[in-house]
DNA sequence: GGCAATTTGATTTACGTCGATCAAGTCAGT
DNA sequence: ACTGACTTGATCGACGTAAATCAAATTGCC
């Protein structure tokens, strides 16, 4: 523990290894054409000194810029709008750290569109990309091609096939669904109940996971709560409104509602009209302006949220780290956040 | 939006301003001895080009090292143990970004000890420090002295007097207490209830805030739930156990328990012994091994957590940013996390 | 108009790395 | 011992900034 612990430089390594700077450089930068004996000497010296290359100096030297792209759904989805907004903010902040970020809009749920987008970015020589993924095998080939051209890949919100990305930035949707069920169970205080469940698409792995988690916990721990019906709609707010009203009028004794996917606006409007009993529990996903307002006025009891801003930040730190060939900084697991009326963030979300 | 938008250098600024590099440097680095006219010309050019100095190059040039210190309670508190553990991890990761971190252990709740510690670090010429604060005016003078010596200050977990720090990294404890009440209310499903509340010290502003938030929500939204008694103990686990058993046997119809502070081990042991009714709600703060186990086996219903690892990470990014005189990156508000049995992180916490 | 003080320009070194180049060295096989 | 292939050493010029020096130019003041 010396006083002025200057970190060792590559020069120090070369000197200790008894080789020239050039040779040490050849080793650490994998330039090849080095005798095994020298490689060993250099690696030993690296180990011994605890040398890590000074990334700032390295990037300065090669005037490195981080060229990143984010492939994600756009348009009318308020969740992704929130994500975009934060990404823009982060991008303008990082502009002065030589990071440039392109946002590539992709149609939601559409494998072909995503496949196509991947091929487009493959031509643009990005250093790293973040993809809101789909668990479809058609993506494996183009993604591997991308990787072979030197582009690093992380998946965001929804995972890709394991082999295609270096990290997944998102929550465990099984846990999210389980948590919803737990809250709903708590809200029934041991009493019986009937729940209406709405889901965007059961093809989407995240929705399927949530529903499965939800089911499991109800069965295991709250058998007196029954799932009256699972309504599938492709995140359509208007459809949600209609079907919810219908289910409400045709189903007896509904005590709870859980929306696995999007389309919360329609659900909330329906809830406001419905003549709910005093003990009624409604749980949705994603904190967006309508759900926030509904939490505040008591129409909703809880919203499970992924904290998309945090996910964006993580994706960015991760991408920068892996582009630099550095181990990612220690970060605790992303947790499905449970929002109630009282722990909402101050900023208008 | 040109193709290869190289960021402008100080040389570009100087050229545009019609002065020499040396003069531009004098302006941006506040070295003085520059005519007002030149200052204005340079600043205009900076604005016009959107120049921001290349921090990597700057730090390389002056071989900058970030000397940071964390002043926080140590010893037997499992919450701070968790915090320490993560800080060590982060420190060893950042060692190779020229960041050195010293942890200074301070007695919890002790103003004199904190005051003394601040004076000690004042002699060590740190670039920045993070302090688990106390809202005491005795700290104002030494903290200002510190700041005048060029040390940047952020408060962590518990705030300092406003004027003494540049940022506060921590949750809003009012929201935390309110959330606890909301969950407890939900768990009573409109029925009546009596709650036992335990608190570490009402002098600690965070505990006081939590209790006040808790009270407010119960009064406003769940008037049928009554606070049977508020037991104050200085986070003593054994005392907690004893007093909880006593309160339990002397109070009729207790339906819920809320622990505002530490000492959860004692509470959990008591809960396990107590013959609780089927619908019973227990809520605590801080996810630590005992509370995690208690959530898993159903002894506890919810734990409100600050995510200390995230707080550490934020404090570190913030400190680095302000030491570099840069605006901090956009980060969403820290939210009291609600943990139930089902959204616990995988890692053993 | 002249002296001193202030302001400016020009230039240099250093920071640690990358990506080159070029000459010199080693070694195997013939 | 000679060729050709591989291996090494030495060195150089970026990258953008900090920090310093010294000489030159511009000011203010009487």
Q: What is the pLDDT of residues A308-327, one digit of tens each?
A: 999 999 999 999 999 998 99
Contacts of A217 in chain B (CB under 8 A): 342
Hey, what CATH topology would domain A10-53 get? 434 Repressor (Amino-terminal Domain) (1.10.260)
Q: Which of A 181-210 lie inside 8 A of B, CB atoms?
A: 181-183, 186-191
Per-residue pLDDT averaged across B195-205, rounded? 87
Among the partner residues A56, A93, A186, nearest to B301 by beta-carbon distance? A186
Distance in angstroms (rounded) separating the CA atoms of residues A124 and A317 = 21
Contact call for A345 and B335, based on CB within 8 A? yes
Contact between chains at B60 and A59 (C-beta distance less than 8 A):
no
Give the closest of B60, B94, B175 to A57, CB-based.
B60
Mean pLDDT, residues B140-165 taken together: 92
* pLDDT recorded at residue A88: 96
B81: helix, strand or coil: helix
Going by pLDDT thresholds of 50, 70 and 90, the confidence category of residue B203 is: confident
Best to test chain B binding among A216, A340, A349 (most B CBs inside 10 Å): A340
From chain B residues 76-105, the ones with a CB under 8 A of any chain A CB are 86, 89-90, 93-98, 100
| Strand D bases within 7 angstroms of protein beta carbons | 6-11, 13-21
**pLDDT at B116 (0 to 100):** 92
Which nucleotide, over all strands, has the C1' atom closest to the CA of B20? C9
Q: What is the CATH number assigned to the segment(s) A173-305?
A: 3.40.50.2300
| B258 neighbors B284 (Cβ within 8 angstroms) | yes
B10-53 and B173-305 have identical folds: no
Q: Give the torsion through C-alpha atoms of B51, B49, A62, A102, to 10 deg.
A: 100
Search chain A and give the residue with CA nearest B93: A329
As a whole number of angstroms, the distance between CA A324 and CA B265 comes to: 44
A330 part of contact set with chain B, CB < 8 Å: yes
Contact call for A186 and B345, based on CB within 8 A: no
CB A157 within 8 A of CB A285: no
**pLDDT, position A349:** 55
Residue A137 CA: distances (Å) to CA of A133, A242, B238: 11, 35, 57
Does B340 sit within 8 Å of A279, measured CB to CB?
A: no
Q: What is the mean pLDDT of residues B19-32?
A: 92
pLDDT, tens only, A172-188: 999 999 999 999 999 99
Contacts of B217 in chain A (CB under 8 A): 342
The number of CA neighbours under 13 Å toward the Cβ of A136 is: 15
Q: What is the pLDDT of residues A235-269, one digit of tens each?
A: 788 899 999 899 999 999 999 999 998 889 999 99
- Name A76's bridge partners: none
Nucleotide nearest to B58 (CA to C1'): D17
Q: Give the DSSP letter string of B164-176.
A: G-SEEES--HHHH
Q: What is the CA A125 to C1' C14 distance in angstroms?
A: 35
Euclidean distance between the first and final Cα of chain B, in Å? 48
CATH number for the region A66-170+308-334 comes to 3.40.50.2300
Neighbours of B320 (CB within 10 A): 20
Contacts of B59 (CB under 8 A, 6+ apart): A56, B98, B324
What percentage of chain B exceeds 70 in pLDDT? 98
How far CA A141 is from CA of A68, A135, A145, A243, B313, in Å, comes to: 21, 13, 6, 40, 37
In the predicted structure, residue A291 carries a pLDDT above the cut 70: yes
SS3 (DSSP) at A347: coil
Spatial separation of the C-alpha atoms in residues B234 and B198, rounded to whole Å: 10
- Residue-wise pLDDT tens digits, A98-139: 999 999 999 877 889 999 999 999 988 899 999 998 878 899
Domain ranges of chain A: 10-53, 66-170+308-334, 173-305
- Considering the entire predicted model, what is its pTM? 0.94
CA distance B341 to chain A (A): 8
Decide if pLDDT at A3 tops 70: no
Q: Comparing C-alpha atoms, which of A106, A108, A109, A124 is closest to residue A70? A: A106
Task: Classify each residue of A131-144 as buried b or exposed e, where b means 16 or more C-beta atoms within 10 Å of its C-beta.
Answer: bbbbbeeebeebbe
The shortest C-alpha distance from A44 to chain B (Å) reads 18
Inter-chain CB proximity B56 and A59 less than 8 Å: yes
With contact defined as beta carbons under 8 Å apart, do A226 and A185 qualify?
no
Lowest-pLDDT range of B56-65, B107-116, B304-313: B107-116
CA dist B291 and B303 (Å) reads 7
Residue B3 confidence class, pLDDT cut points 50, 70, 90: very low
Interface contact A142, partner B, CB < 8 A: no
Min Cα–Cα distance to chain B from A1, Å: 11
Which string of DSSP letters, residue by residue, matches A7-44?
PPPHHHHHHHHTS-HHHHHHHHTT-----HHHHHHHHH
What DSSP string describes A262-302?
S-HHHHHHHHHHS---SS-EEEEE---HHHHHHHHTTS-SE
Per-chain mean pLDDT for chain A = 92
- How far does the CA of B70 sit from the C1' of D5, in Å? 58
Residue A112, classed as helix, strand or coil, is helix
CB contact under 8 A, A176 and B343: yes
Q: Which band of pLDDT confidence, cut at 50, 70 and 90, is reported for residue B317?
A: very high
Q: Does B336 touch chain A (CB under 8 A)?
A: yes
Beta sheet of B302-305, edge-to-edge order: B225-232, B193-199, B256-259, B281-285, B302-305, B337-339
Closest B-chain CA to A336: B343
Residues with Cβ < 8 Å from A193, sequence gap 6 or more? A184, A222, A224, A225, A226, A255, A256, A281
Which tokens hold the place of A119?
Answer: 């091929």
Q: Which pLDDT belongs to residue B135?
A: 79
**Alpha carbon distances (Å) from B118 to A62, A178, B84, B126:** 42, 46, 19, 11
Are B130 and B169 in contact by the 8 Å Cβ rule? The answer is yes
**pLDDT above 70 for B348:** no
Q: Which of A184, A189, A172, A248 is nearest to A218 (CA)?
A: A184
Rounded to a whole number, what is the distance in angstroms from the first to the last CA of chain A? 47
Q: Which residues of B touch A100 (CB under 8 A)?
A: 5
Contacts of B344 in chain A (CB under 8 A): 175
């Amino acid at each position: 523990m010396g006083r002025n612990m200057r970190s060792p430089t590559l020069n120090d390594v070369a000197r200790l290894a008894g080789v020239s700077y050039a040779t040490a450089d050849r080793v650490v930068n994998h330039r090849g054409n080095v005798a095994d004996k020298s490689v060993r000497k250099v690696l030993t010296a690296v180990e011994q000194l605890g040398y890590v290359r000074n990334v700032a100096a390295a990037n300065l030297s090669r005037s490195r810029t981080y060229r990143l792209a984010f492939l994600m759904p756009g348009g009318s989805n308020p969740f992704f709008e929130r994500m975009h907004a934060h990404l823009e903010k982060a991008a303008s902040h990082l502009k002065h750290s030589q990071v440039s970020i392109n946002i590539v809009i992709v149609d939601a749920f559409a494998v072909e569109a995503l496949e196509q987008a991947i091929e487009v970015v493959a031509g643009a020589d990005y250093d790293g990309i973040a993809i809101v993924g789909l668990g479809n095998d058609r993506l494996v080939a183009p993604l591997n091609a991308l990787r072979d051209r030197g582009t690093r890949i992380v998946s965001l919100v929804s995972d890709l096939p394991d082999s295609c990305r270096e990290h997944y930035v998102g929550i465990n949707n099984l846990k999210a669904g389980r948590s919803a069920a737990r809250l709903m169970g708590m809200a029934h205080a041991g009493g019986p109940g009937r729940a209406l469940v709405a889901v965007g698409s059961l093809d989407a792995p995240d929705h399927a996971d949530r529903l499965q988690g939800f089911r499991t916990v109800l069965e295991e721990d709250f058998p007196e709560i029954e799932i009256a019906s699972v309504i599938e709609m492709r995140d359509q707010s208007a459809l949600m409104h209609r079907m919810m009203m219908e289910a409400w009028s045709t189903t007896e004794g509904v005590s709870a509602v859980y929306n696995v996917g999007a389309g919360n606006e329609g659900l909330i409007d329906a809830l406001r009209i419905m003549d709910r009993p005093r003990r009624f529990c409604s749980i949705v996903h994603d904190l967006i302006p309508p759900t926030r307002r509904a939490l505040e006025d008591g129409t909703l009891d809880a919203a499970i949220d992924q904290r998309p801003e945090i996910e964006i930040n993580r994706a960015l730190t991760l991408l920068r780290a892996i582009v630099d060939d550095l181990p990612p900084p220690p970060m605790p697991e992303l947790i499905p956040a449970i929002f109630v009326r009282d722990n909402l963030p101050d900023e208008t979300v």
